[in-house]
Amino acid sequence: MTQNDTANIKKAVGVRSVFLAARRDKNLVGRFFHMEGQFLLERDGRQITKRALADVMVYMAGTYGKALTFEEVELGLLAAATDISVDNENVDEIPEPPSSVEPTAFIEEEPEEDEAVEMESSPSDDGDWVTSDYTEDAPPKHESKGRPGVKPDDDMLESMKYGDDRLTPNDVGISTLDLALRYYNFIENDLAVPETDKQVKHKVKLSIGSTMKSLSWKKRMKKGLWGWHPIEPDQYFGNEPVTSEPAIDPDSVMLRKRHELVEDDEEPVEVSKTLREVLPKLSELKEEVDDDLPWPDASEDFTDGLPERREEPVKFVNHKEGTEEVEVKELVFDKTMTFFEDENGNKRMLEWDAEEEIWSFHIDREAV
């Protein structure tokens, strides 16, 4: 098959690609036949199976990069297959599979069991034509990278050994919580910052433990030693003494008697004023309350607890008719509402109109 035929098969779409391959590809030419277009036959005369169609689908996908369906493969082969029906007198053209032993006589009766022999069939010339040209690479083997477990954090190692906040002799006995707050990156790992030892996540403990062990630090929880300690303090810190407090040179301490002490004169402290002196008196507050409510005059005499009554103009708003009228009514100023009484003695609640500074009543609303 020429390169031009291969290119044409790859350019073809669907059924036509199968048709061209069955006519041009040496692995498919002469393999399939049909009888009056009813069904496909293989070279040995048997009806084609799904496995045979699947082989063609795999071959077309691997050789020409075609994604085909069973129907497309079957129709393409049927269109390219040779008709071997009796009417076309092509029966003699069907090649028979080669046989290594030619029969010299025909057995009319079945032989006895002890006389029966096994016949070896000759190997087929077809071979594995579907995957004969394929080379499958062996799956890659992942190399082991050491013992399983949590690896030390490189950023924490750098900070603990060489950073400005590196571990010092004063950090001997440091707790896991303090190490986490000091070196662990909670933002990058999307974790909440713990406040107690119990709130430290297991993931954080594993990371800190692996990092500290790589620095030759060990966590101790007995014999009066708690927290993280270097296994070899002199080797880790050099000749620097390991202490939780800065060393004090006794030669630099000077002892004095009490009467020889000279104390600095203390500056006088101002005594803060009491709340009574700071807070203003009510009589000194002269600011008037500025709002839009008609507060009663404070200079008037108080009543004996009964609601106040006085005549004031009221604006009657009729929403249905779209009219407004102003009438003078006797208003009752109760603790919770302001109203007037209609002819039937029903209480009609009023609303204060701050813009026009007048009490208003809406007629379309029900009585209170």
pLDDT of residue 139: 61
- Rounded to an integer, the average pLDDT of 5-33 is 87
pLDDT digits (tens, 9 = 90+) for 191-210: 889 989 889 999 899 998 89
Binned at pLDDT 50, 70 and 90, residue 109 comes out as low
- What totals of helices (H) and strands (E) does the chain contain, helices first? 9, 11
How many Cβ atoms sit within 10 Å of the Cβ of residue 52? 19
Give me the pLDDT at residue 271, please: 58
Whether residue 368 has pLDDT greater than 50: no
Q: What is the pLDDT, as a whole number, of residue 367?
A: 44
Relative to beta strand 82-83, strand 32-34 is parallel
Q: Catalogue the E-assigned strands of the chain.
A: 32-34, 40-42, 82-83, 217-222, 225-230, 308-318, 323-333, 338-341, 347-349, 351-353, 358-362
| Higher-confidence position of 208 and 367 | 208
Q: Is the pLDDT of residue 289 over 50?
A: yes
Does the pLDDT of residue 50 top 70, yes or no? yes
More confident residue, 96 or 66: 66
Compute CA distances 323 → 326, 359, 364, 365, 368, whole Å.
10, 16, 12, 15, 22
Residue 290 has pLDDT above 70, yes or no: no
Residue 286 has pLDDT above 80, yes or no: no
Q: Which of 14-28, 281-295, 329-343 has the lowest mean pLDDT?
A: 281-295
Q: Ranked by mean pLDDT, which of 122-131, 221-230, 266-275, 328-337 comes out on top? A: 328-337
Confidence of residue 91 (pLDDT cuts 50, 70, 90): very low
Confidence of residue 96 (pLDDT cuts 50, 70, 90): low
Both tokens assigned to 264: 């600095």
* pLDDT reported for residue 40: 84
pLDDT reported for residue 266: 65
Residue type, 216: S
- pLDDT tens for 116-130 read 555 554 555 555 666
Give percent of the chain with pLDDT exceeding 90.
Answer: 2
| Tokens 């103009």 -> residue | 313
Strands 358-362 and 308-318: parallel
What pTM was estimated for this model as a whole? 0.29
* pLDDT higher than threshold 50 for residue 362: yes
Q: Is the pLDDT of residue 338 over 80?
A: yes
